[in-house]
Every structure is written in structure tokens, then in C-alpha cells.
Amino acid sequence: MSLRGAGVVCALVAGLLPVSSATASATAVAAEPLPLERLFDNTAVSDDARPGEADFDGSGASLSAADLAAAGWRPGRALTVQGARLTWPDRTPGEPDNLLAAGQDISLSGRGDALAFLVAGTTGADVTGTGTVAYTDGTSTPYRLTAPDWRKGSLATKALALPHVNAPGGQRTEKARLYVVTVPLAADREVTSVRLPHAAGLHVFAMSVRTGTLGWTGTWSTASGGHPAVGPWTDRTLRLVVHTSAGGPRVRVRFDNTFAATPVRIGSATVAVQASGATAQEAPAALSFGGAAGAEIPAGAQLFSDPLGFTVPADTNLLVSFHLPGTVSAAPVHRLAVQRSYLSEAGDHAADTTATAYTSTLTSWPLLTGVDVGGGPGSVVLLGDSITDGTHSTPDANRRWPNVLATRLLGQDEVPHYGVLNQGISGNRVVTDRYLGDGVSTETAGVSATHRFDRDVLAQPSVRTAVVFEGVNDLRAGTTAEKVIEGLRLLADRGRAHGLRMLAATILPCEGEARCTAAVDAERAEVNAWIRATGVFDGVLDFDAALRDPARPSHILPRYDSGDHLHPGDAGLAALAASVDLRALVPAP
């Protein structure tokens, strides 16, 4: 039985690791599973005026209640991160609000693809341990959980960073971090309890079974590449144009406040089929959020709209409109949309059918990261860089290779009509963060593929297969083939451990571009030879063979070259999509 889910540096293990007495906490293991909050034995959050009431790390340091409130993480607040719904502990500052993991049995129920933990470590380094998930049929599966350190862990993978640490000697201006880590579940079984790891310094604030990715097929998505300054926009409506792959009878949309330090409010939102420009075919259909017209998205969290009965056509442009009633001066953004979208004059114009109020254009996708349709066969995720993103493809024409692949899928009946999700980010690399993952920055090339894999691949709805098509930017920046191979292997292992079919695409030639030297081409050949020969991935898409010039194998064939010798043009992108054996996208039974 395959297992799937998501997790930061998490993998399946064959069994429990031995636990030494040095790693066991003094907390007693309950005789019967109990709710997590009944076992809280540590206090992480303090009032700024009374920091001595909490001691998160054993040295008297703690999280600031004021910082948490400013981020929208208020006591008892339900938060959605990586598709998992978690509740921040409903405790006042100075009360126990988390549990030190020491093998306790936690009562938890539900059926889903992953188990989510809101965690942090306090040892100065990543804390790792193994536990077990018990199911109602009497079976169990092991899991491995890693909690990054609350003061030294990666900012690129954090759920939330706070600007201060409270300490007995006074508040310090230092980043405090919290993480959401997910591990795979047997999706066909009902969870009944979870045994936590024995791991000194591993703190658990909340847990849940992730159910939100099941029963949906992603029809469009994009990846947030950074958190730049925007606008500022006050009382404006954004009307974003997105292109569907799969169709369906119901719809929901997803907004992400990834990388942010403060909440953002969506006042209202609608969806419509595009007629032309910012004009809808018919009156836009209103979306809701927990039954309300709008909602606040806490820092680092997501917002899914309620399911809406709305027929989403396949291979069609949609208009997703949303009103921002407050002032937004920075936002998570996908910079290279290769698509014109629209910004209104002042006011809530989400319900407008006409384009009259939309007087400005946008060439990026802020905040909006996904559109899903009900049911369907699931999704194929394409993790890539600028070639997948569509650099040098014709704007507003949907000629990116993922779009052409989606059209191919729709035009045949041999394999399912999967949704195709484009998670390409221009400039992205496999092993190096271009954007460091925190703060307002002009850099929008994203955190590394290894750091964004959990959010941008594993947490996508009903993902079946992932294609990794990256590495040229690493090599052009001087990263060795050995390091790129190490990163690709990590991605393959992580995806396969979660039950995904993992495919790799070979790296295209690029001689003639300034940084594509003969030395870079030699490194590229080494990576491609490894992809083709090792069998680490479940299959290979040989894009290099599809586009290279037979007479000069280090060059793209001239008719496929956009002119910069690095990016294919429309014809080259179509050739990439045409070279894919659609049967390779289908997971093994």
C-alpha cells in the first residue's frame, strides 16, 4: 500500500529507533491516548511585561504574545498551513501551551493523506525522532519527525517567524521560528491515535490529520517566489487571469500569505469565465470563506474558499477577483505570470461583470496560488525554473510547456485527464535559496526546490506524479554537478517516500548564453548521465534529446531557440510537451 503526504526532511522508516534514557523526558506516557492539550507540560508564550512566566527552552527564553497576535496567531485560532488545519493553543500567556515529545500517546482521528505537526526544537539544532500512527483496523505505520530549532532553523521552511525573543534580561530583536511538518499517512485507513517520538527538546503545539487535499484536482497553481513591495494597494480589487487544465463541477480557490509577517484581509472574492481582458462572460459567482464573504489570512498561512457549485471548463481562462479593503504594501508574489491581469480603481469591484473599473494591468500573480475542481483524477505537478515558468513564451497565449501538456492530456483517452500544475519559478535553483524565505525583498526567484518541495509539490491537491526539471541555474552559478545530483536525489527520495511517482527531466543545452561555458556544459552532461542511468527516479523525460542540435549537442536546435540560447521559444516549449510519453505520468497501481 503506498503512503503519501508531506514533510520537511521527513521519510518513512522501517521501525522505531532505539530510545536512550538521555532522550526521554520526565513526562509520563499516558496509559490511554489523550488529547494533546491535556498533556501540555511546557510554556512557550509570555506577556512582554512578564517574560518570567514562560520558559520555552530551559534558559528562560520564550515567544512574545504580542508578536503572535500581530501575526494573526491568536489563542484558539484555526490556521491552515500546507493544506493542514491546525489550531494555535487556546492558552493565555504564562499557561502551558505545548508538549515536550516523550513517547506520549495522543488521541486523534480522521482519514487523510498526511499527519501535520506544529513544532519547534529548542536544542540549538534540528531535533529528530520516530513515532507511530495507529489505525482503527489495528494496523500501524512508523513516521520520522524533524523539528528545526526555534532560533537557528531555516527561515526558508518556517511557517512563521516572529521579530523578537522574550528573555529574563529583556526582549531581544531576534527571529523566533515555528514550523509545520507533515508526515505521510495510509490514506485508506482511519487514524485513531499517534505516539509521539522520544526526542529531547522537540515541542509540539498542535496536530491534525490533513484532509483538505483529498477529493479535489488542482486545475491551476503557481508558486510564490518572494515577498516584494507592491502598490501599496488600499481599497483595491485585483482581477487575476489564470488558465485551467482539468475541468469540473465545483471550484475552490486558495490564497497564500507565505513569507509574510502580518495578516492580510480578503474582503470579498469571485470567480468567472473570462470573455476578454477584464470582462467576464457572465456575472461573477461569489466565493465564501467559512460562510462569510471574506476572511483574514494570518501570516504564513493559507485561505481556502468554501466549495462552490460552478462549472469550470477545461483549458479556459478564468477571472479570479478579490477585494483588498486594507492597505497591502508587500505580498507573496509569483513574478513572471506571462499573463496580463488587472487592478481596479478604489472600491470593491469583485462582482463587476464589465472591465470599466479595471484601469491598470499587472504582470504578476499576488496572493492567489491555486484553483481546484471537485473530484477528478488528481494532479501532476511540474517543479521547475524559468523554462517551466514560460519565460519568452508569447504573453497571454498560454504556450508554456505545461499548458501544451495539459491540452495533450485533454485530447486523448489513454490516460486520465490529470490537472497540470505549473510550479516553475524563474531563476529558481535546486540547492540554493535565491530568496532567503523571510522579509520584504526584491528577490523573487524563490527558495530552493529542496526547501519548497513540501509546500509546492506534496501539499498540492491529490498529486499523483511530480516532474523535476531544474538544475541549469545551479550549474550556471557555479554549483557542481555533484551538489545538483545530491539535491535531485533528495527530491526523488522524498517524493517516493510519500507515494508519488517521481520523474526527472534532463537539463537542456545552453551554449551561447554568457554563463553557459564549456565547463558548465560538462557538468550538465554529468547530471544528465546520472538522471538517465541511475534509476533513482521512476522515469526520465529526455528534454535534452528533444531539443538539442544534433550537429552541436551543446546548443539548442535553432528553430527551438527563443534567441537567448537558454530558453526555448514557443516552438521549443511545444516540442518539450510533445516529447512526453503520457503513460509515464501514470502511477503504478
> What value does the mean pLDDT take over residues 340-351?
98
Residue 295 has pLDDT above 70, yes or no: yes
Residue 422 C-alpha cell reads as: 505549473
Residue 178 has pLDDT above 90, yes or no: yes
Residue 500 C-alpha cell reads as: 508519488
User: Which of 25-34, 168-177, 515-524 has the lowest average pLDDT?
Assistant: 25-34
Residue 118 C-alpha cell reads as: 506544529
pLDDT at 31: 67
Over residues 541-573, the pLDDT tens digits come to 999 999 999 999 999 999 999 999 999 999 999
The full DSSP string for 381-437 is EEEESHHHHTTTSPTTS--SHHHHHHHHHHT-SSS---EEEEEE-TT--SSS-SS-S
> What value does the mean pLDDT take over residues 151-175?
97
Rounded mean pLDDT of the chain?
Answer: 94
Separation of alpha carbons 519 and 521, rounded Å: 5
Residue 81 C-alpha cell reads as: 498551513
Over residues 207-246, the pLDDT tens digits come to 999 997 889 999 999 999 999 999 999 999 999 999 999 9
What 3-state class would DSSP assign to 219? strand
Confidence of residue 452 (pLDDT cuts 50, 70, 90): very high
Over residues 109-122, the pLDDT tens digits come to 999 989 999 999 99
Residue 9 has pLDDT above 60, yes or no: no
CB proximity list for 126: less than 8 A, separation 6 or greater: 9, 146, 147, 148, 149, 153
Separation of alpha carbons 359 and 267, rounded Å: 20
Confidence of residue 487 (pLDDT cuts 50, 70, 90): very high
Residue 23 has pLDDT above 50, yes or no: no
Confidence of residue 19 (pLDDT cuts 50, 70, 90): very low
Tracing cell 513564451 back to the chain, one arrives at: 393
User: Cα dist. 192→242, 412, 533, 574 in Å?
Assistant: 40, 42, 43, 48
Residue 10 has pLDDT above 80, yes or no: no
Separation of alpha carbons 458 and 373, rounded Å: 18
Name the CATH superfamily for 216-297+329-585: SGNH hydrolase (3.40.50.1110)
User: Cα dist. 291→84, 387, 553 in Å?
Assistant: 19, 40, 57
Over residues 383-437, the pLDDT tens digits come to 999 999 999 999 999 999 999 999 999 999 999 999 999 999 999 999 999 999 9
Give Cα 372 distance to the centre of its chain: 15
pLDDT at 8: 33
Separation of alpha carbons 485 and 528, rounded Å: 9
Confidence of residue 17 (pLDDT cuts 50, 70, 90): very low
Separation of alpha carbons 455 and 182, rounded Å: 10
The full DSSP string for 441-456 is -S--S-S-HHHHHIII
Residue of 222, 157, 89 lying closest to 435 (CA atoms): 157
Over residues 50-104, the pLDDT tens digits come to 999 999 999 999 999 999 999 999 999 999 999 999 999 999 999 999 999 999 9
> What value does the mean pLDDT take over residues 124-135?
98
CB 531 within 8 A of CB 470: no
Burial 78-96 (b: 16+ CB within 10 A, else e): ebbbbbbbbbbbebebbeb
pLDDT at 214: 84
Where do the domains of the chain lie?
21-210, 216-297+329-585
Over residues 499-546, the pLDDT tens digits come to 999 999 999 999 999 999 999 999 999 999 999 999 999 999 999 999
> What value does the mean pLDDT take over residues 435-462?
97
Torsion angles phi and psi, residue 183, rounded to 5: -130, 155
